[in-house]
Amino acid sequence: MTTKSERTQQRIIDAANQLFYRKGYNRTSFTDVVDEAEVPRGNIYYYFKTKEEMLQAVIKHRLETTKVMLADWDKSIKTPLDRLERFVQIMYDSTPALLRSGCPMGSLNVELGKDQPELKSDAKQLFDMFQLWLAKQFAQMGYPEEARELSLELLARGQGIIVIAQVYQDPGFLERGTKEINRWLENLDRYA
């Protein structure tokens, strides 16, 4: 069973998670989080002494969620190609959010990568988790040598498409982009 305290903490993390995504980390204030989570002002400091700690908790939460998702895909999807295409699928499914706020993982890394190296190295873990999983799929598909490079290339394609789709508010570009990625993946699979 979850205690009331645990639920409060989770509400704070959820609120921070959303706000960090929608407004960015640096533009999100404690007041924002407190309002969104509906906890009294002072109470938040009982759970997180600093904003950095809050970010770390948010990243940890995202990592756990992602881990569960990927494990689920490993279990329920049979071929590496289908698994990779499932990855591309969430991009397409998230179109509205991506057009509004960009990639949650990419934009966080871009923001923190500028001059907050400690925070950035936390955020990088999100990329690492996907990258390693993607590489595993490419390896299983028959590209053990090129697995890392292919995974980076897939990530780069996704990031680029999302940035441009957001800049131009163009869902069509996102759709064509994901379709093109799928064609690429299918060709890789065919000629493995």
Partner DNA sequence: GTAGTGTTTGGATTATAGTCCTAAATTATC
Partner DNA sequence: GATAATTTAGGACTATAATCCAAACACTAC
Q: Report 50-89 residues binding a second copy (CB under 8 A).
A: none
Q: Give the Cα separation of 90 and 87 in Å (integer).
A: 6
* Smallest distance from a second copy to CB 72, Å: 25
CB of 107 to a second copy, least distance (A): 5
Query: What is the Cα–Cα distance from 91 to 104, expressed in whole angstroms?
Result: 11
Of these, 12, 57, 106, 122, which contacts a second copy (CB under 8 A)?
Answer: 106
Q: Of 7 and 23, which has the nearer Cβ to a second copy?
A: 23
Lookup: tokens for 168: 């131009």
Query: How many Cβ atoms are within 10 Å of 26's Cβ, its own excluded?
Result: 13
Of 77 and 110, CB closest to a second copy: 110
Stretch of 47-55, 135-143, 148-156, 159-167 contacting DNA, by CB under 7 A: 47-55
Q: How far apart are CA 93 and CA 86, in angstroms?
A: 10
Alpha helices in the chain (DSSP H): 4-23, 30-37, 44-47, 51-76, 80-93, 95-101, 104-113, 117-141, 147-167, 171-190
Instruction: Tell me if 76 contacts DNA by CB under 7 A.
Output: no
Choose from a second copy, DNA, none: what does 41 bind? Cβ within 5-8 Å by kind.
DNA
Binding positions for DNA, 13-42, rule CB under 7 A: 28-32, 39-42
> In angstroms, rounded to a whole number, what is the distance separating the alpha carbons of residues 56 and 135?
25
Phi, psi of 144 (to 5 degrees): -60, -35
Give the footprint of a second copy on residues 129-168 (CB under 8 A): 149, 152, 155-161, 163-164, 166-168
**Residues in the site for a second copy, rule: CB under 8 A?**
22-24, 26-27, 101-102, 106-107, 109-111, 113-115, 124, 127, 149, 152, 155-161, 163-164, 166-168, 170, 173, 176-177
